[in-house]
Structure 1
Amino acid sequence: MSTARTDTATDTGLRDAVVIPHYNDLPRLERCLLALRENDLTGTEIVVVDNNSPVSLGDMQQAFPEVRFVVEAQKGAAHARNRGVAETIAPRLFFIDADCVPASDWLKVGRQIADRADLIGGRVDVFDETPPPRNGAEAFEAVFAFNFRRYIEVQGFSGAGNLLTRRDVFDAIGGFINGVSEDREWTMRAVAHGYSLIYEDGFRVSHPSRQDWAALRAKWRRTTQEAYQLHGTSAAGRLRWALRGLAMPASAVVHTPKVISSDKLTSTGEVLRAISTLFRLRCQRMVWMLRQAIGGTI
């Protein structure tokens, strides 16, 4: 296992650190690292923090000698990201997930916009890993997944799959917290401390769509668990959570026109499958949220 770095960015000429949490997904990690190679890596340190995967990273280390691989035994992306920051020395921090694909100018654009805010989230495009036509999960994700502009400009947080910040910001507010929606909590905590957060559309990565209902359900089950912890578990908090849960089917009705008008779906069949998945998922979330509100588990 690697140890933390003790030299300074000034000594090494490093200005940027890319932190990539990873667990048991070598093909997508390889794709991410190959895309990073298309970027200008001058003054950049890339650190992959593996969450103790059951597969060997030996071949990956040989294929990417420019990348530092470390192991974080504590499970969770929060622990992995914190370890990655601790392992690096650069003043500027780029966060990306192992299943994301950075644009060829991702680092260049990040450097150009870095002074515009303390935290910057970017665009996340969705692509399919399977041939057309899209199934319900893929069609749903094409319309609804990863709207970072809305996350940042309306809801006041950013995901960490495409996030740029500085080490002094990270040091000032502390690391990510495991067990909650760690990127949402961390960016909202930074904003609460007075740091600025903006969206930049030219700062781009892409992410594969979930390929089936099981993968989509697992994503939203995890998200629902994390969101419940963030919204509080007091009696009043549970009541508000129950009311939000009961509103889930109505929200599917409200969002149906967005599916119908989307230019991301290429056929009537995709539109119908996306609408079906929208209602199925919102009803599932209602059941989960009501269980949580009465003290149960999902």
Structure 2
Amino acid sequence: MNESTTMKRPRPSLVSVIVPTFDAIATIGHQLDALAAQDYDGAYDVIVSDNGSIDGLREWLDERVRVDGQVVHYVDASGSAGASHARNAGAAHSSGEFLAFCDADDVVRSAWLRELVATASTADLVSGSLDTSVVNSVATYRRRPLSPSLHGFETDFLPYAPGCNFGVWSSVFRAVRGFDETITDGGEDLDFSWRVQLAGYRMAHAGAAIVDYRLRPTVREFWSQVRRYAVGDVLLYSAYREYGFTGLSNTDFAQHVLRLLVTNPAVPHALSRSPRGQWIGAAAVVVGHLQGSIRYRTLFL
């Protein structure tokens, strides 16, 4: 066990911002612009960890550096598919004492890095807030409305830091051996966060470290993502139930199913008052949990 941070750490001499990327030319420019505009007055560098892009990302970055002069370090992270491998590869090539992670299709706000680093002075792992109201259409936003919060991301077990917005001291990242690259259905950020905390490190939330989070734009993509994440829930349950992670009780599950029946699109909207997109997300969770229960032979409601 490691003792969590109780004394204030000095500010890191260098922060490495790691951006795992796959075929993101359409969006990564906005993220790089936002990273260049940070109001953090300390030293930081940006690492684009490319997980096998086939859209010409490397050439695009070279041209951007030539035209704009923004220094971005490119890492070839094509050895294994998945964001976990890209994050690990980026971290392996980093020099910063503190690592900050964001995604290529989102946009960090100007105070993002400053707030993460400030909170990390008394914590080992720091989560930031997500906002879905800025970079998504109204219809897409309604499927998953998220606003900045002071409370972080809670579960019925331990809180977690979303993979698209968190910071961690590099020594802590190495101590827990980074992300588990065998987790491919989603939930790798929960697994990482929980391993950090179970190892005795302290987690905190920086509510003002905000990322404008881009949702999947189509209903089909949204359904697929939520269902896949729900499958991953079952794997997490099988790994962490001995530590206290539980599924829904039979009563809670029955109430959830009843809610789906009452608010489903076949019921007139005037009666259900439920946004259709949110119903689709809730239904995808149920389907994913059932599929995961079959795949991993572990009942998780």
Q: Give the TM bin, normalised by the shorter chain.
A: 0.7 to 0.9
Tell me which residue corresponds to 1:66. Answer: 71
TM-score by length of 2: 0.75
Tell me which residue corresponds to 1:159. Answer: 162
What are the within-5 Å matches in structure 2 for residues 191-210 of structure 1?
A: 191-210=197-216
**Residue 284 (str. 1) matches residue 287 (str. 2):** yes
- Aligned equivalents of 1:147 and 1:245: distance in 2? 31
- 1:228 corresponds, among 218, 231, 234, to 234
Tell me which residue corresponds to 2:191. Answer: 185
Tell me which residue corresponds to 2:52. Answer: 52
How far did residue 14 of structure 1 move?
Answer: 5.1
After superposition, the C-alpha distances for 1:41-84 in whole angstroms (9 at most, x for unaligned) are: 65111000000111112122321441111111211111111111
Distance 1:254 1:54, change over 3 A: same
How far did residue 210 of structure 1 move?
Answer: 2.3
Distance 1:215 1:147, change over 3 A: farther
Tell me which residue corresponds to 2:175. Answer: 172
Tell me which residue corresponds to 1:120. Answer: 126
Distance 1:26 1:275, change over 3 A: closer
Aligned length: 267
- Aligned equivalents of 1:280 and 1:127: distance in 2? 23
Aligned-partner SS, 1:155: coil
- Aligned equivalents of 1:212 and 1:28: distance in 2? 16
How far did residue 145 of structure 1 move?
Answer: 11
After superposition, the C-alpha distances for 1:100-142 in whole angstroms (9 at most, x for unaligned) are: 211111122223222121111011111365644x1xx542211
Alpha carbons 1:157, 1:188 under 8 Å: kept: yes
For 2:120, the aligned partner's letter is A
How far did residue 248 of structure 1 move?
Answer: 4.7
Tell me which residue corresponds to 2:255. Answer: 250
For 1:104, the aligned partner's letter is S
Q: 152-161 or 101-110, which moves further after superposition?
A: 152-161
How far did residue 224 of structure 1 move?
Answer: 2.4
Tell me which residue corresponds to 1:10. Answer: none
Q: CA RMSD in A?
A: 3.7
Alpha carbons 2:232, 2:292 under 8 Å: kept: no
How far did residue 275 of structure 1 move?
Answer: 4.9
Tell me which residue corresponds to 1:91. Answer: 97
For 1:60, the aligned partner's letter is L
Aligned-partner SS, 2:90: helix
Alpha carbons 1:24, 1:54 under 8 Å: kept: yes
Distance 1:218 1:147, change over 3 A: farther
Which structure 1 segments of 5+ residues have no match?
1-12, 257-266
For 1:162, the aligned partner's letter is N
- Aligned equivalents of 2:115 and 2:288: distance in 1? 37
Aligned-partner SS, 1:174: coil
Name segments (4+ residues, structure 1) moved above 6 Å. 144-148, 243-246, 267-270
Tell me which residue corresponds to 1:211. Answer: 217
Alpha carbons 1:124, 1:147 under 8 Å: kept: no
Alpha carbons 1:50, 1:70 under 8 Å: kept: yes
Taking only the aligned residue pairs, the percentage that are identical comes to: 20
Tell me which residue corresponds to 2:33. Answer: 34
Distance 1:155 1:62, change over 3 A: same
TM-score by length of 1: 0.76
